[in-house]
C-alpha cells in the first residue's frame, strides 16, 4: 500500500503536470485568438481533474480555485462560445495562484515529514 507521503508527492507532481499542460493550451488559445471545442474541453477536463484530486487529498484552496476555473469554462464549453480575453487573463492569474498554493503546500508537507 502506498504511503500517504508518497501519494501526496504524486499528487503534487500531477498538479505540476496539469498546470503546465493547462498553461500551454491556454497560451495557444490566446495566440490563435480562438479555441476549438476540443481545446476548451481539454482545459475544462484538466480543471475537473485538478479539482477532484485536490478534494481527495484535502487541499481545499486548490480545489476551490480549480472549481471556479472549471465553472468559468463551463458556459464556453457547453455553448461553444469564443473565450474572451478577460477570461484568458483571469485563467492565467488563477493558474499562478494554484501554482503558488501547490508549491507552498508541498514545501509545508516536506517540512512536516522532516520533523
- HEC per residue, the chain: CCCHHHHHHHHHHHHHHHHHHHHHHHHHHHHHCCCCHHHHHHHHHHHHHHHHHHHHHCCHHHHHHHHHHHHHHHHHHHHCCCCCHHHHHHHHHHHHHHHHHHHHHHHHHHHHHHC
pLDDT digits (tens, 9 = 90+) for 1-34: 457 778 888 999 999 999 999 999 999 999 988 7
Residue 81 pLDDT class (50, 70, 90 cuts): confident
pTM, two decimal places: 0.89
Amino acid at each position: 500500500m502506498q504511503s500517504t507521503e508518497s501519494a501526496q508527492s504524486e499528487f503534487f507532481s500531477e498538479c505540476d503536470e496539469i498546470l503546465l499542460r493547462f498553461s500551454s493550451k491556454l497560451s495557444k488559445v490566446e495566440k490563435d485568438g480562438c479555441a476549438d471545442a476540443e481545446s476548451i474541453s481539454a482545459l475544462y477536463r484538466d480543471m475537473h481533474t485538478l479539482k477532484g484530486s485536490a478534494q481527495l487529498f484535502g487541499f481545499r484552496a486548490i480545489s476551490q480555485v480549480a472549481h471556479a476555473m472549471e465553472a468559468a469554462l463551463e458556459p464556453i464549453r457547453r455553448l461553444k462560445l469564443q473565450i474572451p480575453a478577460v477570461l484568458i487573463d483571469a485563467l492565467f492569474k488563477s493558474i499562478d495562484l494554484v501554482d503558488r498554493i501547490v508549491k507552498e503546500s508541498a514545501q509545508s508537507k516536506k517540512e512536516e515529514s522532516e520533523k
